[in-house]
Structure 1
């Protein structure tokens, strides 16, 4: 600053005082414009990132996972229906219809929220066509089941299962993958852009303040005048704008970070765990329905359970939950979605609900072992009764309890996610207009503050 003032005050400097004041005014306008551009660019980038995470990608990701729930729920219910004589499992019939209704609704939701053209459109179209074919195969299986033709029923059901496993679920995964990739890319890019924008805003703001303060000092030393009130007001507004902008962008960035890293990451983990649980529950019923492929379905069951919670040898779900409560950390070797969620606990009630889902899963696995023991002992009907039963202590009842605990954890994170996204957007709402007004005010105050001094030399 002292060097600038010294340069302007040199006796051999060729510019006149009015010319120097005009240069100061031009510099004020230039640095103000640079600051305006920097702030608007940063705000728009932040808004785009928040909108991508909160309004474009995340709803599609959650919808994709819920479609998997609906599809596998349909399949599990129809398998339970086919396990018993026709008409004897109306709960399964009702459950199938409910899951089908959810699938239809979510396909419409997914189609209405297309943000990335064919990347989303193609998997949605695949699911729409595949669902129609799946329903046709299921109806054939039901018809053969009603006629008592078990072999034909199994052939039709296998065809439907292949559509489920090789068309519907992969398409839902593709929809999830597309949006996850865009979300992660946008979030990572925005963090880098935000850092660069902060530097540019600081540089532009500092330059503007230096110019305004330099003009004040020049006027005071060269013209022996007290501080110019309008320039003083312009300086105060510039400083307030710089401080307010920095704070607002930092707050919005924290809103986005909380929504993405604390809430959304958990939401995605929980939806993946729920989908894997649905697939496992379906595989359990298939194991009893189609003995020819029992080994394949058994492997599918344990593979999906391991994705949810891989419990190390010598431990149980209960001992791991107890250790987490007492030690506050996971047991070595404990992996899976639940372990990942326990490593991302942030909000009140989240830990308790997650541990409840773990304990419930452990009880569900214990019942599954009973089902397989009954089946291997030749007690097929007893195994079916335990598998499709919804009374306390039976398999489907425990599956529902797991879903409740999982859903409670998800709802906790969803509430925070929605709040942070809305708060982040609210924080920067209309910020471009406010910035333009503030910068224009700085320029006008500077102009009118220097105008009387310039007129003195024109007279």
Structure 2
């Protein structure tokens, strides 16, 4: 069709459409709230009938309308992808780089405080006995190491905790100095008394009791509160983000399909009205939109998979094992407290059982029967790893085995925990038989078959299992960061701009025929 023929056709079509620019202007202003005049409704109805008639949609109007819809759909696709993936990036940042590390750091604070108290108890336990001189020096060094670790954890927590966490951190900061002063006083009184192993002076024991009560009643609950607050943030953000990704996937799919349908409609209109088989620019836009849609949906799916890996598969195990390690050190301290403080022996025995149950919960277990019941439960689990007949932090981990090497590492934790419980039972038997020094040696010894050796094996196995999960968590977070980085955003913006330009280039020559 020549340009003149197209122009005449357009003129004829536009004349058939009525040749007007819409309804006549309304009359004088009507006060707000007044009923719409009947004449206005009539004009509105005529206008809607005109727009809805086939004669109204001349070729230029149809092309311009479909072009506007195509541009709007492409912009909508870009906006939807930005909202969905930008929200995913922010949610992943909150989980992986803020709340989750803070929860783990708070559990580490609990561990450092627990081990500080365990070392303080051991200092009273070995007393002035020269047989334990080397152990005493090691104990002092470990106490200082844990004190520095607690200070560092507090500084990190103070910078990032939420309001509730901040209050808990401030409580620990305010009370930790008092705790350290009481421990120092206990050590000084013990040195002055030159008491034998396992028999601290009443004054030294009283100072330690005050320190330990302060730790257990205020410092450890506050540290646990920081952990719980950050865990709640992780769980809440994870649930919200998974819902948002699921909904976002369907929104992206719907807007993308709409964009493809409108682009196809525009190409069909051009093919029918202008007798052309294909418009190269619009064909390129359609192909590009399809590729972007598939890539975007795949990116949302990958982000969701990485989020599940990072939080459910990895983080849940990391935090469970981190808390198990922290409780284990408090449990280890309960043994020393039991030996140095016979007046509170029943209290420390109950505390030891509660800490053991937190790690591996056995229904109806008592302190005297715990080791045997644990052996039976562990045997049933080893016969079939899918059977986990106990709860607690270790039970949670064994229900969440996901990564290569994790099963073996977790089994080593269970085995070391068993050995530690067997030795604890022996230590209590020695104490009951009046063999206090033998009980102290068994409790503090670092040789194979002694308590602190097996506890070291337990701690190392926990660290190894945490490392497996931490590596997987870091990998999933790094993958999400790479998928949703500034390069992806810039590439998406460039593709959107190119698509908009191509649409304009595709219809411009056709619309110029009507000038």
Instruction: State the match for 1:134 in structure 2.
Output: 179
Contact 1:321 1:355 in 2 (8 A): no
In the alignment, does 2:402 pair up with 1:351?
no
In the alignment, does 2:107 pair up with 1:65?
yes
Counterpart-to-counterpart distance in 1, 2:375 and 2:213 = 36
Contact 2:161 2:226 in 1 (8 A): no
Shift of 1:210: 0.6
Q: How does 1:92-111 map to 2 (within 5 A)?
A: 92-111=139-158
Q: 2:504 aligns with which of 436, 442, 447?
A: 447
Shift of 1:302: 0.8
Instruction: State the match for 2:256 in structure 1.
Output: 205
Contact 2:186 2:203 in 1 (8 A): yes
Deviates more, 1:446-455 or 1:93-102: 93-102
Deviates more, 1:305-314 or 1:419-428: 305-314
Shift of 1:436: 2.1
SS in 1 for 2:448: coil
List runs of 5+ in structure 1 lacking aligned partners.
1-9
What is the RMSD of the two structures over their aligned residues, measured on CA atoms? Answer: 1.8
Instruction: State the match for 1:90 in structure 2.
Output: 137
Summarize deviations over 1:178-218 as a string: whole Å, max 9, x none.
11111111110111111221121111111111110001111
Counterpart-to-counterpart distance in 2, 1:448 and 1:390 = 79
Instruction: State the match for 2:79 in structure 1.
Output: 37
Counterpart-to-counterpart distance in 2, 1:105 and 1:204 = 49
Counterpart-to-counterpart distance in 2, 1:90 and 1:232 = 79
Aligned residue-pair number: 446
Contact 2:388 2:399 in 1 (8 A): no
Q: How does 1:223-238 map to 2 (within 5 A)?
A: 223-238=274-289
Q: How does 1:400-439 map to 2 (within 5 A)?
A: 400-430=456-486, 431-439=488-496
SS in 1 for 2:514: helix
SS in 1 for 2:113: helix
Instruction: State the match for 2:42 in structure 1.
Output: none
Instruction: State the match for 1:302 in structure 2.
Output: 353
Contact 1:317 1:362 in 2 (8 A): yes
Counterpart-to-counterpart distance in 1, 2:110 and 2:272 = 75
Counterpart-to-counterpart distance in 1, 2:208 and 2:491 = 63
Counterpart-to-counterpart distance in 2, 1:331 and 1:69 = 26
- Compare relative contact order (CA 8 Å, sep 6+) and give the higher one, 1 or 2: 1
Counterpart-to-counterpart distance in 2, 1:327 and 1:369 = 27
Contact 2:388 2:395 in 1 (8 A): no
In the alignment, does 2:121 pair up with 1:79?
yes
Contact 2:102 2:161 in 1 (8 A): no
Deviates more, 1:218-227 or 1:252-261: 218-227
Shift of 1:22: 0.5
- Using a 3 Å threshold, how does the CA distance of structure 1 residues 146 and 451 change in structure 2: closer, same or farther? same
Instruction: Answer with 1 or 2: which has the greater Rg.
Output: 2
- Using a 3 Å threshold, how does the CA distance of structure 1 residues 53 and 227 change in structure 2: closer, same or farther? same
SS in 2 for 1:393: coil
Instruction: State the match for 2:188 in structure 1.
Output: 143
Contact 2:388 2:398 in 1 (8 A): no
Counterpart-to-counterpart distance in 1, 2:76 and 2:139 = 65
What TM-score, normalized to structure 1?
0.93
Q: How does 1:154-165 map to 2 (within 5 A)?
A: 154-165=205-216
Shift of 1:120: 2.7
Instruction: State the match for 2:226 in structure 1.
Output: 175
What TM-score, normalized to structure 2?
0.83
SS in 2 for 1:457: coil
Shift of 1:317: 4.7
Deviates more, 1:44-53 or 1:322-331: 322-331
Counterpart-to-counterpart distance in 2, 1:171 and 1:311 = 27
In the alignment, does 2:71 pair up with 1:18?
no
